[in-house]
Amino acid sequence: RAFELFEHSVAADQTHALAARNNLAMALRERYATNVDARDFDRAEHELQNVLAVESGNRAAYENLARLYYDRGRLDDPAYLVLANLVVTQAQRVLAAKHEQSADLANIRGLLLMQDNDQVHALRAFQQAAEVDPKHADANRNIAMIAIRFRDYGTAEQAIERVIDEDAVADDVEAWIALGVAKRGLRKYDEADKAYRHALDVDRKDPRPWYNLGVMAQDHLVANVAGDDEALNSLYAKARGDYQTFIDGASGRPELAEAVADAKDRIVIIDDTIETIAKMKELEKAMIELERKAALEKQAEIERLLALEAQGQSSEAEEAQD
């Protein structure tokens, strides 16, 4: 319905309807990103170029065009990443002359740097976007993802919590999982558990939170119960169950194949660990029993020697009387 309204608005004013053209181009771009239909790309590009022909400093048009080229570059033709970078550079120059900034353009710059695997400068670009617009959903999510890779869990937590209640983020499974990972890294295990389970509430068909719950139990929570075999076994059993739930849910999803393989390996390790704990417990019992028997034998030997000594003393006394 919104798509039709944008088209009607543009048709009603072929020359000026700049906002309508931008909205139509955005809708076309979003559809292109989903279907990768070149016709949607061409129409979106045409509308945005028309806007810039009328108003060369139109920020929304620059933002849409940069994102359109970025999407084409990552989805279809990498050459468009170069064009996206050129648009961002030109747009930022034009806006700077008007003493304006764009969080969207800074965020796209970061995405382009991520394509070059330049995470350090990408993080700076995302942070710049968040400075311009502290509630920029994409920028804060991207900050969190990179911060987690750098094990900067505090920064990741702050970035996600800054936007987690925004409509664009509240129903994003990735964001809730990232928040869980950040909380886990900060040893806020109860809060991490809540974040992972909220991710499950957002999308029950996404099994990834189960994998993360398993990792937290196996790699982190066990440290709190070291030496308590019963508690250890309970946590390992929980982790095993979480992994199995993840494996079952990830069946037939190639993008999760690597995580599934890791979960299976972790189950093997857990089974071996539980078996080792049981064997060690039996060995400990056997050692205690051996020590008990050794103590009894030692005591019996002492008593035997004392009896012999007493017998010898008695014989000496009798000889002295004779």
295 — pLDDT class (breaks 50, 70, 90)? confident
pTM, 2 dp: 0.81
Q: What tens digit of pLDDT does each residue of 208-233 get? A: 999 999 999 999 999 999 888 889 99
CA dist 176 and 137 (Å) reads 13
Q: What tens digit of pLDDT does each residue of 147-204 get? A: 999 999 999 999 999 999 999 899 999 999 999 999 999 999 999 999 999 999 999 9
What is the arithmetic mean of pLDDT over 242-261?
A: 96
CA dist 212 and 197 (Å) reads 10
Closest CA to 184 of 208, 162, 214, 204: 214
Q: What tens digit of pLDDT does each residue of 86-136 get? A: 999 999 999 999 999 999 999 999 999 999 999 999 999 999 999 999 999
pLDDT value at residue 320: 67
Q: What tens digit of pLDDT does each residue of 127-148 get? A: 999 999 999 999 999 999 999 9
DSSP 186: T
CA dist 76 and 36 (Å) reads 8
Closest CA to 44 of 75, 70, 21, 62: 21
DSSP 78: T
Q: Is the pLDDT of residue 321 over 80?
A: no
What is the arithmetic mean of pLDDT over 27-42?
A: 94
Which contacts qualify for 173-176: CB closer than 8 Å, 24 or more apart? 173/199, 173/202, 173/203, 173/206, 173/208, 173/209, 174/141, 175/141, 175/144, 176/202, 176/209
pLDDT value at residue 11: 47
Longest dimension (CA), the chain: 142
CA dist 28 and 104 (Å) reads 18
